Amino acid sequence: HQNAENVRLQVPTTHVRSRPSSRGDDRGHDSIQEKFFQPRFTQVPEDVVIEEGRFCRLDFKVSGLPTPDVMWYQNGRMVHQDQFHKMIVSEKGFHSFIFEAVKSADAGTYECVAVNRAGEASFTVKVEVIAKEHHMPPTFIFKPQSKKVFEGDTARLECQISAIPTPRIYWKRNNEMVQYNTDRISLLHDNTGRICLLIHNANKKDAGWYTVSAVNGAGVATCHARLEVATHTNKPLPAPKQLRVRPTFSKYLALNGRGLDVKQAFSPEGEFQRLAEQSGLYESDEL
């Protein structure tokens, strides 16, 4: 009886232990396998030529699963982030490699490598750095002078500016930009930095305060001058005074109201004395 009881109790025990194994096999078939995708660059930057000291940004886009790690190498040497080099990652795989201020040492061939569990991908880009040009802010060698002209005349406002590189020139009249390169107003300049604003046939509307500004990458210089436009006043000219010539009794010249009397001018000595007696004049003995 005891043996039969033991057999009865053991049968379900063996069956129960076998079921977990069966359930375990079912879970193995239903599990989802993890997938991996090798990195792939979908956008890469072009080669760069940039002046020393400028800001530079290299943008690119990379895809992959899991998200790949990105590394930069300059001429085979790994580039690390510092105050002049930044590596930024944004959403959807967009990356940026930033040069805050390009230096001559930044020139070279750069390799960007993206790595994940499935593999890696890379691209190269060349960065050429141009030596920084010497810059000098604009300064006035001589400034425009205030002037007064009459209506219809030509007004000239001239100055000379020194700057490296050549600055851009702006003229304003009463804080409004002057529209030159027209039939009446023109701007002239030469290689020495001389600048001339010409206003032909000036009128009252041209009067006011003129401001000239020179601008380049190193700075700005500004100067002011006033232009006055006056109106012509047509005053009648005074009539010339008639000259009253007193008669003279020189033996060389005799003048009267009718002009030169040549005959009297060369009259003999007796005629001179006769004329003197008639006029009541006598020659002094003291002469």
pLDDT, position 31: 54
User: Which tokens go with 177?
Assistant: 């930009």
- Tell me the one-letter amino acid at 3: N
Is the CB of residue 236 less than 8 Å from the CB of residue 229? no
Cβ-count burial of 61 within 10 angstroms (0-12 exposed, 13-18 middle, 19+ buried)? middle
pLDDT score, position 91: 74
Mean pLDDT by 10 residues, the chain (287 residues): 46 40 47 80 93 92 91 94 89 88 93 94 94 87 94 95 93 92 88 93 94 93 95 70 60 50 54 57 53
In the DSSP assignment, the letter for residue 104 is G
pLDDT score at 19: 42
**pTM for this entry:** 0.41
Task: Please name which of 88, 87, 84 lies closest in space to residue 102, comparing C-alpha atoms.
Answer: 84
Rounded distance between C-alpha atoms, residue 123 and residue 36, angstroms: 21
pLDDT given at position 246: 60
Contact 98, 84 (CB under 8 A): no
User: Under a CB-based contact definition with an 8 Å cutoff, are residues 139 and 163 in contact?
Assistant: yes
Burial (0-12, 13-18, 19+ Cβ within 10 Å), 268: exposed
**Sign, Cα dihedral of 70, 72, 78, 83:** negative
Fill in the amino acid letter for 191: N
Q: Helix, strand or coil for residue 107?
A: coil
What pLDDT score was predicted for residue 11? 39
Identify the helix (H) or strand (E) that includes residue 272: helix 269-279
